[in-house]
Amino acid sequence: MKLLKYLLLVLLFTSVSYSQFDKTILQVGIGIVEPFGNTSKGTYYANEMLNGYSMLTIDTSFMTNNYAMKTGLTFFGKAKFNFDKYSVTRGVLFAAFNTFNTFEPTKSGMIGIPVQLIGGQIDTVPSPINYSYTFNSFSFGLGFELAPTAFTKKVSPYFGANMSFNLFNGKLTSTENNLDSVNTSFSDFRIGVNFDAGVEFQISKQFGLALGVKYDLGNLLLKNTNSGIPDAIVWGKTNGSLNDEEGTFFSAIYGPVLNGLRRQVISKQKQINWGTIYLAANIYLDKPKTTGKTTKKK
């Protein structure tokens, strides 16, 4: 056992000793993100009939079966540290912000509002309503990358894998009669992995471009569903749970009438997966070489 520890320490010391941390690459970029899988995609709104009127309601599959994610944008940065003098093996640190549903417009329709008339009679009347929805993630993590022809300093494919730490946040907003807005939001932390591949084009000693694709499995670990009544998803509440594990939770956002009734619903286990196509700029931070010669003073 002691011998194994010693060998590991020697290996670590050797790899660090020969690491070319003076050849760091900074990569910054922008891309298009697209959700994959039935539990990521979906529609958050639906139409129901009430007293002869078509009502725009929240779909009962939203948050129970899927997160209604649509195409969006990503902004990211990476630091790549070369582990050998040829820049073939690299360690990677990254951070990214993904915003989904970027191109989805606001949805407009009618919703039922319960009222009590003079004399105590209860009635339901239609009222205009608008809905908007966003789903975001902030991710950071670390991983390993191979660039087999990086030593040419011209064109090189690369591929790698990373562990990602993801903070997800979704916000659904309703605006009645174009006046007052109220929202419900949910957020949670999850651990996942992503797989990254692309091609680098080095234009000069300091600058280059990269075109790549990436696939994220965002919530492999820490799935959870909060089943308590205080954890219900209701209008005006901003600390709801992601509810991505199989179970039950309470919600008051469904139905053609805004009545605040907390209904128990079944939560399906949900995977948050997405793909990315991106364009990036590479900045090469090579230190200038020194000859080691000294000049004599006259």
pLDDT digits (tens, 9 = 90+) for 110-155: 999 999 999 889 889 999 999 999 999 999 999 999 999 988 889 9
Task: Spell out where the chain has E strands.
Answer: 20-36, 45-50, 53-58, 72-82, 89-100, 107-116, 122-146, 155-176, 180-202, 207-221, 247-251, 263-267, 273-284
Q: Residue 170 pairs with which residues in a beta bridge?
A: 135, 186
Q: By mean pLDDT, which of 149-153, 223-227, 258-262, 290-294 is the weakest?
A: 290-294
Residue 156 burial by CB count (10 A; 0-12/13-18/19+): exposed, middle or buried? buried
Q: Report pLDDT digits (tens) over 191-228.
A: 999 999 999 999 998 999 999 999 999 999 999 999 99
* Mean of pLDDT values over 38-48: 91
Q: Is the pLDDT of residue 81 over 70?
A: yes
From first CA to last CA, the distance across the chain in angstroms is: 61
With a cut of 90, say whether residue 259 has pLDDT above it: no
For 35, the 3-state DSSP assignment is strand
Weakest-pLDDT range from 11-25, 114-128, 190-204, 228-242: 11-25
Strands 207-221 and 180-202: antiparallel
